Structure 1
Amino acid sequence: MISQLSWKIGGQQGEGVESTDRIFSTALNRLGYYLYGYRHFSSRIKGGHTNNKIRISTKPIRAISDDLDILVAFDQESIDLNVHELRSGGVIVADAKFNPVVPEGNDARLFAVPITAIAEELGASLMKNMVASGASWGLLGLPLEVFNQALEEEFGRKGPAVVEKNVEAARRGAEFVLEQAGGPLNEFQLGPADGKQKLFMIGNDAMGLGALAAGCRIMAAYPITPASEIMEYLIKRLPKFGGTVIQTEDEIAAITMAIGANYGGVRAMTASAGPGLSLKTEAIGLAGMTETPIVIVNTQRGGPSTGLPTKQEQSDLNAMIYATHGEIPKIVIAPSSIEECFYDMIEAFNLTEKYQVPVIVLTDLQLSLGKQSCEMLDYEQIVIDRGKLVNDLPPLEEHKQFKRYELTEDGISPRVIPGEKGGLHHVTGVEHDETGRPSESSVNRKNMMDKRLNKLNGLHITNAIHVDAPHEQPDLLLVGMGSTGGTIDEARTKLEAEGIKTNHITVRQIYPFPADLFAPHAERAQAIVVIENNATGQLADQIKLNVGFGEKTRRINKYDGTPFLPSELYKQSKELV
């Protein structure tokens, strides 16, 4: 038996690839396996090659695999584009309809299954996805009743007749391929799963759930890949808790609506990707000047302009740190796992109200859309902190106004919601005094700037950096962010096996950069290797700017639209020793 296996399905977009992957992986999750998925899809609704890859393991995993064991192909293009990933002795399950051919020089074992023909016999060619899933399930020798339960969950709302037809499609796919293969393939028999209950979700869904748990009741957003799923998740759920989602006419309306809702006392957010964040930057400055809380999610994708809307990249750091004219305090945090996507959203809402600054939650496409196993979430950890939101104000002296922007020792002023007795104040995007009234006094200007910029001096976030540092003086300190953590750890395993000492830091607090936490680890390392999905080394530049050690900082950059593979990081890191 084996401890892990990699499976991929490919075809034309809109052909059922996504639903095949979803049901296949959901059934595996029911058995208790750990899963890590990666979606390669075109930036159009229908047509163009797409594939979904799932890594299945008996132990926790947080990276896509270098190779591939089983490829399910709906067309020849899927074979031609992906066959190079197949390990020696790998398997292709292909639709016999297109007379599949294995390219020369590859020893893959081909099973031509009449996938479309079986589906059409059952009344609908769309059911070919279930025939293909059943064939895969059969080769793995897994219990078909578990797969049938997943089918019932997927199609139950359509009635028993639809469920029965899909169950039959899966059964016939399994029977056909097992007859060809002479039974389940022994070399692909997975060891038993640990049986623990796990969640299986994408980062966007986890962030939506985190926002809901944090008390968010308004989301204003405009659809954009790869952030749209957050909005879609909350559209279905927020109304059940007295909230609402507003699909706005554009990105500017989305953020200004969210700012207005927060000003009114309702926890509100918006979410977008790079092009949308470009449009939101003026309003981010408004939130900074008026000290109004706002949570913004940026799911990074390939840029600039429209760029690569459906591909992996981590190139928005500089934009999130420096965007908006003038100078305002802000917080940028970057979750690195599905669990952190959930917990970080709760922390983001607490931070934005505690410090009264914009908080940006920065993810990347792989973390946002890659479906992964996730430990059960601990709702007991949820704590709501609304900062200096006050009510029952003491009576003001006659002719005095509430000091919404009062100069305080920690730089954070009391905040009220509209209608609070005694809380009347002026709000404007121009410079203002303590009561909010416009002021161009040079003394006031300096006082207000200092107040705003110093309010993050006491900032503390949970796990600003993740540190795995077994060595006092490592050869390499490997540094990453976002979705790269698991891939770095797998590369480290190979490096350590060859006697190369490595420590690993995942930076989660992007801005303000946690220099005091990072510096001691950087100082002890022989070389610092910063790994990021962009061309210019934006995280490496932040380390050099805030910590130093530029002379021993090395960069591994990938910006072709695909995530890092463990083997790539191993080879490139080894060359830097």
Structure 2
Amino acid sequence: MISQLSWKIGGQQGEGVESTDRIFSTALNRLGYYLYGYRHFSSRIKGGHTNNKIRISTKPIRGISDDLDILVAFDQETIDLNAHELRANGVVVADAKFNPTMPEGIQARLFPVPITAIAEELGTSLFKNMVASGASWALLGLPLEVFNKAVEEEFGRKGPAVVEKNVEAVRRGAEFVLELAGGPIPEFQLEPADGKQKLFMIGNDAIGLGAVAAGCRFMPAYPITPASEVMEYLIKVLPKFGGTVIQTEDEIAAITMAIGANYGGVRALTASAGPGLSLMMEAIGLAGMTETPVVIVDTQRGGPSTGLPTKIEQSDVLAMIYGTHGEIPKIVLAPSSIEDCFYDTIEAFNLAEKWQCPVILLTDLQLSLGKQSSELLDFKQVVIDRGALVTEAPPLEENKLFKRYEFTENGVSPRVIPGMKNGLHHVTGVEHDQDGRPSESPVNRQKMMDKRMEKMKHIKIRNPILVDAKHDNPDLLIINMSSTGGTIDEGRGRLEKDGIKTNRATVRQLHPFPTEELKPYMDKAKQVVVVEYNATGQLTQLIKLNVGQADKIRSVLKYNGNPFLPSEIYKECKELTLVWQH
């Protein structure tokens, strides 16, 4: 028996690839397996090749695998594009309708199954995803009862007749492939899972859940890949808590509405991707100047312009830190796991109110949309910190205003909700004095800038870096951000077998940069490699700017839209190590 296995399904977008993957993985989750999924999909609504890959394991996993055990193909293109991933003696379950053939040199077993024909016998070709699911599930030798339960959950709202047809499609697919293969494939039999309950969700859903737990009750947003699921989640959930989601006409309206809601005392966020964040930059500057808290989610994708809207990239880093005109206090966080997405969203709301500034939560497409197993979340950790929000303002002297922008030691001034007795103050996007009245005084300008920027000296989040340091003086320190940690750790495992001692540091607070936390680990390492999805080494630039040690830093970059594989991390780091040694 084996401890892990990789399964992929592919076809044309709109053929049911997504629903097949969803039911297949849901059933595995019910059995207690750890899962990690990656979606490769076209930017078109319908048509264009798409595939979903699921890695199944009895132990926690945080990255996709190099190879593939089972490929389910709805068309020949799926085989041609993905067969190279198949390990020797892997399996292809293909629709017999297109007379599937294997590319030359691929040592895999081909099982042509009349997927479409069976579906049409049951009344419609729409059932073909369930026929394919049943066939691949049967090869693993797993109980059909568990799979059928997942089918019932997926289609139950459509009535018992639809559920019965789908269950029959699963059974027919399973029976056909088992007769063809002579039974379940022995080398694909998974060890039993631990059976423990696990969450199985995408990062966007975890962000949405974190927002609800943080007390967010308003989300204005404009749909954009890969951020839309945050809005879709909150559309379903927020009304249950007295909240509201508004689909705005554009991203400018979304960010200004979010700022307005926060100014009025309601915790609000908006979510978008790179093009949307570009439109928000002027308003983010307004939040900085007026010291209004606001949380913004940027789900990075391939750019520039429309770029690669459905592919992974990490190229918004410098834009999120330096994109606004002028200088404002700003916090940029980069969660690295499903759990981080939940807890960091809560922390983002607390930080925004504590420091009265914009907080940007920076994810990437894989973390946003890749469905992954997660341990159960601990809601006892949820703490709401509203900072210097004043619930009762002191009496004002005659003809005086509340000092909303009062000079303080740490730059944070008392904040009131509009309409509060004795809280009268002026708010404007131009430079202002302590009362909020416009002021162009050079002395006041410098003091106000110093006051706002003073905040940056004090901001620290929980765990600004996550470190896996097995060695006191490693040959290599690998630094990353966001979704790449699990893949890096697998590559590190292979490097360790070659005698190369490695540590990993994941940067979670990108701005202000956690120099003092990262520097000791860089000091101890002989060499440093920074792994990121962009062409210019944006995280590398931040490290050189804030920590230095440029002479021992190298970048491993990928920007073709595809995620890193463990073998690529191993190969690139091994080659760099050999270069350094010589």
Task: Tell me the residue number matched to 1:288.
Answer: 288
Tell me the equivalent position of 2:69.
69
Aligned partner of 2:580 in structure 1 is: none
Instruction: Tell me the distance in 2 between the aligned counterparts of 1:81 and 1:472.
Output: 43
* CA distance in structure 1 between the aligned counterparts of 2:272 and 2:571, rounded to whole angstroms: 35
1:309-388 alignment runs, 5 A limit = 309-388=309-388
TM-score (normalizing by structure 1): 1.00
Correspondence for 1:243: 243
- What letter corresponds to residue 223 of structure 1 in structure 2? P
1:473 is paired with a residue whose SS is: coil
1:506 corresponds to which residue?
506
Provide the rounded CA distance (Å) in 1 between the counterparts of 2:571 and 2:378.
38
1:158-177 correspondence runs (5 A): 158-177=158-177
Deviation at 1:282, TM superposition (A): 0.2
The CA distance in 2 between the partners of 1:274 and 1:522, in whole Å, is: 31
Kindly provide the CA deviation profile for residues 216-242 of structure 1, in whole angstroms up to 9, marking residues without a partner as x. 000010000000000000001101100
* AA matched with 1:321: I
Question: Could you tell me how far apart the structure 2 residues matched to 1:409 and 1:400 are?
Answer: 23
Secondary structure class of the residue paired with 1:564: coil
How far apart in 2 are the matches of 1:180 and 1:501? 48
Equivalent residues in 2 for 1:243-322 (5 A)? Answer: 243-322=243-322
Alignment of 1:92-241 (within 5 A): 92-241=92-241
Q: How far is the alpha carbon of 1:561 from its aligned partner?
A: 0.2
Question: Normalising by structure 2, what TM-score?
Answer: 0.99
Q: Which runs of 5+ in 2 are unaligned?
A: 578-582
The equivalent residue for 1:408 is: 408
CA distance in 2, matches of 1:246, 1:372: 28
Separation of aligned partners in 1, 2:318 and 2:426: 33
SS in 2 for 1:455: helix
1:494 Cα offset (Å): 0.6
How far residue 376 of structure 1 moved from its aligned partner, in angstroms, is 0.3
How far, CA to CA, are the matches of 2:395 and 2:80 in structure 1? 76
- Alignment partners' CA distance in 1, 2:552 and 2:107: 44
**What is the percent sequence identity of the aligned residues?**
79
What corresponds to 1:443 in structure 2? 443
Once the two structures are TM-superposed, the CA of residue 318 in structure 1 deviates from its matched residue by 0.6
How far has the Cα of 1:16 moved from its partner? 0.2
SS at match of 2:435: coil
| Residues 358-411 of structure 1 deviation map (CA, whole Å, 9 limit, x = unaligned) | 000000000000000010000000000000111221211222210000001111
Task: State the Cα distance separating 1:456 from its structure 2 match.
Answer: 2.5
How many angstroms apart in 1 are the aligned matches of 2:458 and 2:278?
A: 29
Distance 1:273 1:134 in 2: 37
1:10 maps to 2:27 = no
Runs of 4+ in 1 over 2 A off after TM superposition: none
Per the alignment, in what secondary structure is the counterpart of residue 313 of structure 2?
coil
CA-CA distance at 1:471 after TM superposition: 1.0
Partner in structure 1 of residue 430 of structure 2: 430
Structure-to-structure mapping, 1:46-61, within 5 angstroms: 46-61=46-61
Aligned-pair distance for 1:558? 0.3
Write the deviation string for residues 255-314 of structure 1: whole angstroms up to 9, x where unpaired. 000000000000000000000000000000000000000000000000000000000000
User: Counterparts of 1:550 and 1:12 in 2: how far apart (Å)?
Assistant: 46
Q: How far apart in 2 are the matches of 1:569 and 1:259?
A: 41
Coordinate RMSD, CA, aligned = 0.6
Structure 2 distance, partners of 1:237, 1:434, is 40
Alignment correspondent of 1:542: 542
Question: Greater shift after overlay, 462-471 or 289-298?
Answer: 462-471
1:483-531 CA distance string (max 9 Å, x none): 0000110011111111100010000000010000011111111101000
Distance 2:172 2:184 in 1: 15
Structure 1 equivalent of residue 515 of structure 2: 515
Q: Please give the secondary structure, in 2, of the residue aligned with 1:313.
A: coil
Alignment length (residue pairs)? 577
| Inter-partner Cα distance in structure 2 for 1:409 and 1:315 | 36
**Equivalent position SS for 1:436:** coil
The one-letter code matched in structure 2 to 1:182 is: G
- Match of 2:488, SS? helix
Where 1:258 maps in the other structure, the secondary structure is helix
Amino acid at match of 2:377: L
In the alignment, the residues of structure 2 paired with residue 356 and residue 265 of structure 1 have an alpha-carbon distance, to the nearest angstrom, of 12
**How big is the shift at 1:207?**
0.4
d(CA) in 1 for partners of 2:111, 2:204: 36
Amino acid across the alignment from 1:116: T
Amino acid at match of 1:142: L
Deviations 1:393-449 (A, max 9, x none): 121122221000000111100001111000010000000000000000000000100
Give the deviation of 1:576 after TM superposition. 1.4
Question: Which residue in the other structure is 1:492 paired with?
Answer: 492
The yes-or-no answer on 1:568 pairing with 2:568 is yes
Amino acid at match of 2:161: A
User: How far apart, CA to CA, are the structure 2 residues paired with 1:526 and 1:59?
Assistant: 32
**For 2:576, what is the secondary structure of its paired residue?**
coil
Residue 359 of structure 1 aligns to a residue whose secondary structure is strand
Task: Determine the C-alpha separation between the residues in 2 that align with 1:303 and 1:407.
Answer: 41
Letter in 1 for 2:346: I
What is the match of residue 90 of structure 1? 90
3-state secondary structure, aligned to 1:456:
helix
Give the SS at the match of 2:162. helix
Q: Which amino acid counterpart does residue 190 of structure 1 have in structure 2? A: L
What is the identity, as a one-letter code, of the residue corresponding to 2:281? T
> What secondary structure is seen at the aligned counterpart in 2 of 1:44?
coil
- Which residue identity lines up with residue 170 of structure 2 in the other structure? A
Query: Hey, what's the Cα distance between the residues in 2 that align with 1:423 and 1:456?
Result: 26
Specify the code of the residue in structure 1 equivalent to 2:143.
P
CA distance in 2, matches of 1:381, 1:566: 33
Which amino acid counterpart does residue 202 of structure 2 have in structure 1?
Answer: I
